[in-house]
Amino acid sequence: MSNSSSASKSSKIGIPDNGEDLAFFMGEKCSVEGAVLDVDGAARIDGQFSGKLRAVHLIVGEKGHVAGDISSETADIMGSVEDTLVLSGKLTIREAGRIEGQITYGSLEAHEGAQLVGQINTQGRATRTEGTSSLSNLRSAISQSARDTGSAPKPAESSSPAGDDDSES
């Protein structure tokens, strides 16, 4: 009987059919406040979630909003996240994505138009951004942080610092 395939799909009612293997899905018309959610797998939030959330992989859909204490190995953000986001691996933030608060990640993929606002931490280093940070502003902050730590060569300066032996008048 060909119903075995549809029976399998019926256990995932409401989950977008885009090939994602999700352990948890919250639709656009759902709203949860003050919850503690621990997902051993991928979680997709297309609605409004507020509370504590831990997942192996977090996906926030375009209309999704997640607020609170969020931790995951990886995340793909198309909607908005606020408060605290801690990732041990890759953070992907899409064009319409916005993250505001304390952000910690292992690696970053930011699409043009993505917004990161707040304190950004990566591999033990912190960068404070003021206002809204676009991709170009984020690149500048990362470059400045690399220069400050000596991990990248500093660009030549137009004037020598005071006390430099080569700058005698």
Residue 48 contacts residue 31 (beta carbons within 8 Å): yes
The first and second tokens of residue 125, run together, are: 């280093």
Three-state helix/strand/coil letters over 99-111: EEEEEEECEEEEC
Three-state helix/strand/coil letters over 19-66: CCCCCEEECCCCEEEEEEEEEEEEEEECCEEEEEEEEEEEEECCCCEE
What local confidence, expressed as pLDDT, does residue 163 receive? 46
**Does residue 152 register a pLDDT over 60?**
no
Q: Which one has a higher pLDDT value, 8 or 76?
A: 76
83 within some domain: yes
**Does residue 58 register a pLDDT over 50?**
yes
Which domain range does residue 144 map to?
Answer: 22-149
What local confidence, expressed as pLDDT, does residue 124 receive? 53
154 within some domain: no
Q: What is the count of structural domains for the chain?
A: 1
What local confidence, expressed as pLDDT, does residue 136 receive? 53
pLDDT band at 169 (very low <50, low <70, confident <90, very high): very low
CA separation for the pair 22, 4 (Å, rounded) = 20
Q: Please state, as a whole number, how many other Cβ atoms lie within 10 Å of the Cβ of residue 115.
A: 22
169 within some domain: no
Average of per-residue pLDDT values in the chain: 78
163 within some domain: no
The stretch 26-51 carries a mean pLDDT of: 97
The per-residue pLDDT for range 72-126, each reduced to its tens digit, is: 999 999 999 999 999 999 999 999 999 999 999 999 999 999 999 999 998 655 5
CA separation for the pair 45, 67 (Å, rounded) = 11
Q: Which one has a higher pLDDT value, 8 or 32?
A: 32
4 within some domain: no
